[in-house]
Amino acid sequence: MTPFFLLLLLLSVSLTLASSHDYHEALSKSILFFEGQRSGKLPPAQRAGWRGDSALSDGSEAGVDLTGGYYDAGDNVKFGFPMAFTTTMLSWSVIEFGELMPADELRNAAVAIRWATDYLLKTISHPGLVFVQVGNPISDHNCWERPEDMDTARTVYNVSADRPGSEVAGETAAALAAASMVFRDIDPGYSQTLLENAMRAFEFADTYKGAYSDDPQLKAGVCPFYCDFDGYQASHSMLSSFSSRGGGDGFSLTTCMIVKLHVKGCLRGGQLTQDELLWGAAWLRRASQNDSFLDYIQNNGKTLGADDNINEFGWDNKHAGLNVLVSKEFMEGQTLSLESYKEFADSFMCTLIPESSSSHIQFTPGGLLYRPGGSNMQHVTSISFLLLTYAKYLSKSSQTANCGSIQVDPASLQLQAKKQIDYLLGDNPMNMSYMVGYGDRYPQRIHHRGSSLPSVSSHPQFIACKDGSDYYKSAKPNPNPLVGAVVGGPGEDDVYEDDRADFRKSEPTTYINAPLVGVLAYFVANPNAGLVLT
């Protein structure tokens, strides 16, 4: 083949892979999604007009104000642990890629972050306590009702010195520290408040070490939904889809607990790690540049599990994200003692590169990164975010990822992320987008109470707990599209049935969308990243 025809062939391949997606539209909708998840008194600028005020007395049971924040998924409970992680990832998205966002979307992202941080500040406003959850998940999941109608118990759960919760307090510290960087120029006073409170939350987490699921009363509320199995107990975050899904669909909580306990006993052999303490310290180091947090990482890393090279990242396991985050300081040439974090970050990236000799993360036949257990898109979006962020760090320091016999450059990581996101947006065997409202074909029957029930404006009459069952069982599309919501996605065979009852595939979560915001911001500015001919 002549060089001319080889060039034509390469150009044809490049054009085939070149993006046909409107990343700006997808970004806008991925941020809009959070307005559909809001709890509390909605602002006049609320764009998801089918939603109304809800949970206006949250916290009253304990004599505190815990209104606001986000519902985590398709239910009406406010789980503090995944909400804090969502906030961290939304903030990290803006920190790394905010400068690439259109100005209006950067403002919308900051508003979404502040809706969360205003709530998180309330959760740590009482000395000696951190409020970690509002709502009895058992009673909530036994109902299929709108958040505006919700009449189930709004039980308040907290951790204290006597019953610690380092995972929640540590993630809250990370969230507030990361958010303080977002607001540094927008609102310096608010930024300082966030940073000071992040330090308070971290001090609580580090002083009173322990898991909130170790307390019987708390365990009844947070397990099997959002126990931190990888923070202080042994398990596997890839089964987190079993965590918060139940309700009028008759989902068996007993089965969920059996699955969790089975994994807890088998996968990690009871090994204890405290990844949220390192994660919180790393974010406080990044936000404050205070050497005391660098000292904490250096002095406690081995004790707290930094040497556990665990190739996971999500609300339950911060290891891969921690390695990427901390490696930045090493790559900038400032701290040689942090070299192991780059080595571990390299190792994680190598599992995503087909050409490397590392054991690889599973992919579907259609090319989607796949982890068993359901709610798979949380792994797709969070790992895609790490791919792009690490590529950015490597590029700025003129380095590559060491994968043994090969060196992986930033463009390879960017291309892998692009393949994942393009699959999510419609380049897949089902020829459908997994983001509601994006593309010509997308999920119509998502597992989400507010979306699947008629809005208060169209149906002002109260819909009681069990009266929503008919809507849950209906084969009709949801009357209120939750625009921007990304569902759990297809199974390992690339098949998606669009079944409201199949929560593992059809339920959206805030922590699916949060890292996606940063990924889409990157592709708005770099739609053909990784496809440059050399």
SS3 track for 184-233 = CCCCHHHHHHHHHHHHHHHHHHHHCCCCHHHCHHHHHHHCCCCCCCCCCC
Indicate if 459 belongs to the active site.
Answer: no
- 388-426 burial: b if 16+ Cβ within 10 Å, else e: bbbbbbbeeeebbbbbeeeebbbbbbbbbbbbbbbbbbb
Residue among 484, 524, 503, 422 nearest 16 (CA): 422
Beta-carbon count within 10 A of 367 CB: 16
- 96-105 burial: b if 16+ Cβ within 10 Å, else e: bbbebbeeeb
Indicate if 447 belongs to the active site.
Answer: yes
| CA dist., res. 257 & res. 363, Å (int) | 27
Q: Which of 21, 319, 379, 447 is catalytic?
A: 447
Q: Which of 228, 316, 498, 502 is catalytic?
A: 498
This prediction has a pTM of 0.91
Residue among 110, 117, 119, 118 nearest 31 (CA): 110
Q: Which of 105, 149, 427, 507 is catalytic?
A: 507
Ordered per-residue pLDDT tens for the chain, 534 residues: 444 444 444 444 444 456 689 999 999 999 999 999 999 999 999 999 999 999 999 999 999 999 999 999 999 999 999 999 999 999 999 999 999 999 999 999 999 999 999 999 999 999 999 999 999 999 999 999 999 999 999 999 999 999 999 999 999 999 999 999 999 999 999 999 999 999 999 999 999 999 988 888 888 888 778 876 554 433 223 333 333 333 333 333 333 322 222 222 222 223 343 899 999 999 999 999 999 999 999 999 877 777 776 778 999 899 999 999 999 999 998 788 999 999 999 999 999 988 888 878 899 999 999 998 889 999 999 999 999 999 999 999 999 999 988 999 999 999 999 999 999 999 999 999 999 999 999 999 999 999 999 999 999 999 999 999 999 999 999 999 999 999 999 999 999 999 999 999 999 999 999 999 999 999 999 999 866 533
Helix (H) or strand (E) holding 343, with range, is: helix 339-350
Residue that has been written with the tokens 């060196």 in this structure: 407
3-state helix, strand, coil in the chain (%, to 5): 50, 5, 45
Beta-carbon count within 10 A of 1 CB: 8
Strand extents, DSSP E, 371-421: 401-403, 406-408
Residue among 373, 359, 351 nearest 491 (CA): 373
* Cis? peptide before 164, omega within 30° of 0: no
Indicate if 498 belongs to the active site.
Answer: yes
DSSP 8-state assignment for residue 179: H
Name the 3-class secondary structure at 363.
strand
Rg (CA), the chain: 22
